[in-house]
Amino acid sequence: MPVQAEHARFRGIPLPPSGWTLAVLLALYICTGLIGHDPWKNDDAVTIGVVHDMVANGNWLTPGLAGRPYPDAPLYYWVAAAGSRLLSWLLPVHEATRLASGVFTLLALGFIHLAARELHGREQAPAAPLLLAGSIGFLFHAHEAQPMLATLTAHTAAYWGLTQLDRRPLRGASWFGSALGLGFLANGLAAMLPLLPVAAFVVWRSDHRQRSALLLLGSLLLACALAGGWLAALFATSPEYLAAFSQGELNQLGGNTQPLLNIQRLLLMLPWYAWPASPLACWALWAKRRQWATTPLALPMFAFMVALLVVGICLGARSAPALLLLPPLVLLAVPGVASLRRGAANAFDWFGMITFSLLALLAWIGWCAMVFGWPERLARLAVRLEPGFVGHFSLLGASIAILGTLVWCWLIVTSPRSPMRGIMHWMAGLTLFWLLIVTLWMPWIDYGKTYRQVSVSLAKALPETRNCIAGANLADSIVASLDYFDGIRTLAANSADGKKCDWLLIHGAPKDGSAPAVGGWRKVWEGGRPAERRNVDKLHLYRRDLKKGQPPGR
């Protein structure tokens, strides 16, 4: 075999990656970790609880949580519930639900690639999905049941529609209107509000301003038609639910009491949350400072500023809404990749390779400690953090982790020189680290985060025949987990029906003025996840003491 042919055979992935190569890389990143663990606290458990209620009770029009109305936009829940029905023979509801996140995330990565191609050309476009997938904040939410991912997809599709408004006006307006309407069904009006000023900005800069304005007016009508179908159905069948949903929308649009503080927190969050897109965007602004008036820079700059204001004022400085800041920031960062100076590009490349190689090594050492008890000090720390955990060797998990590590070593040795090499290595290293966490550490993480054992223990403490259970200070994630695992549902303790219950479940210590503090109740059970040792972190179950309290409710 000729030397040149042999060298080509062992050459790494061509850069920039394109076609099936890029698709496979992104699919591997997204699909890893969607299945294989229980619902976790906060958004993951709540979303799965809503989908479970929808699948079990058929409340497709009016999403609910553990038998209670849960006024929220339904698109993500519809997709997840449909997937759960189709895959019920193969996957439990919580794993099938997360597959919806995978679908929306892959669509978002595809749309951001198309938008970058319109703004910056085919050669630079692959940087956009690599930057979005490589953002640290994106990793946190891309693998959980998260309705904001559907909104992120709508935003990326809307940007793609707006970028082609001059070149293919009808298609661009159609995509924008569809994205706007479906985005409303994904998360309501406040989350889609940033796109309206951006659309006006695009019309103002258009070469055919009148035509673009008319087309965007038509796209708004299309959006209203898509969103109005659900709203009209609610008006006809569930006006109370529509009123509650509308009130929630008005509360968001009314803003919060500390908008400037929220904007400041978002800006302080971005350096790590949007890494490496944030420093590359700053470099692009500096390197292309004479081209700020051009559409490839002006559009994402304006979109980012508007998104920052709306998220800070209406949605708050939380991690999930901050996802909406990533698309314009990524589109702004794309030209920064190609224009990065050789020394800075090499430094970023080496930083990524060294960082994720060290993280991979630490992941392997931590796994050895959990499974084989070496290093001993680290093994004792793992047990102390999650009391009662016993590690077991998994041949499949270890084999996948070894294969991923070998592929990483091959990639960093064989990747050709390219301006995109640094972000390629960053995204691949992040994928490797997440793969190692999923295959090696997931049993330990899931052991500490799931409420499965807590729910089982609580179910054993409750008699089969009982009247209702009142709940106090229970977060939605706890309510969702108890209902999902064992069908345990509670009523609000301060409601008329809740006051008649013989059972009371409290999260944390009883506060002054609560029923146990006043008297007439006897504690029969307490429990929590392994790491929840403090009394304020545990669940406490009380039964009405018939000798001291009122007669049991009928």
Give residue-wise pLDDT tens across range 52-96: 999 998 889 999 999 899 999 999 999 999 999 999 999 999 999
pLDDT confidence of residue 546? 64
State the pLDDT at residue 512: 53
Top-confidence residue, 417 or 305: 305
According to the model, what pLDDT value does residue 63 have? 95
In the chain, % of residues over pLDDT 90? 69
- Give yes or no for residue 143 having a pLDDT over 80: yes
pLDDT band at 254 (very low <50, low <70, confident <90, very high): confident
Per-residue pLDDT tens over the stretch 17-38: 777 788 888 888 999 989 989 9
Q: What per-residue confidence (pLDDT) applies to 147?
A: 95
Angle at 346 between CA 269 and CA 118, to 5 degrees: 65
Q: Over the stretch 482-518, which tens digit does the pLDDT of each residue have?
A: 999 999 999 988 888 888 899 999 998 776 556 676 6
* Confidence check: pLDDT of 5 > 80: no
Determine the Cα–Cα distance for residues 336 and 353; give it in Å rounded to an integer: 20
Q: What is the pLDDT of residue 259?
A: 87
Question: Is the pLDDT score of 476 beyond 50?
Answer: yes
**pLDDT value of position 199:** 95
H or E stretch covering 333: helix 326-339
How confident is the prediction for the chain on average, in pLDDT? 90
Nearest partner of 176 among 325, 332, 63, 303, judged by Cα: 303
Please write down the long-range contacts of 342-346, taking CB distance under 8 Å and 24 or more positions apart.
344/283, 345/419, 345/421, 345/422, 346/422
pLDDT one-digit tens code per residue, 170-216 = 999 999 999 999 999 999 999 999 999 999 999 999 888 899 899 99
Determine contact, residues 94/46, Cβ cutoff 8 Å. no
Task: Map out the domains of the chain as residue ranges.
Answer: 3-14+342-449, 33-339, 452-544
How many H-runs (helices) and E-runs (strands) does the chain carry?
25, 7
Calculate mean pLDDT across residues 288-313.
93
